[in-house]
Amino acid sequence: MARKEFSQFEAVSAAVRGEEGYNAAIAVKGLGATGAPRFHKVLEGQTFKTALAADEAACAELERLQGVSDEAELIW
The CA distance from 54 to 56, in Å, is 5
What pLDDT was estimated at residue 56? 98
1 confidence band (pLDDT: 50, 70, 90): confident
Structural domain count, the chain: 1
pLDDT tens track for 31-61: 999 999 999 999 999 999 999 999 999 999 9
Domain that holds residue 35: 3-75
Average pLDDT, integer, range 9-23: 96
DSSP code at position 31? T
Share of the chain above pLDDT 70, in %: 100
Whether pTM > 0.75 for this model: the answer is: yes
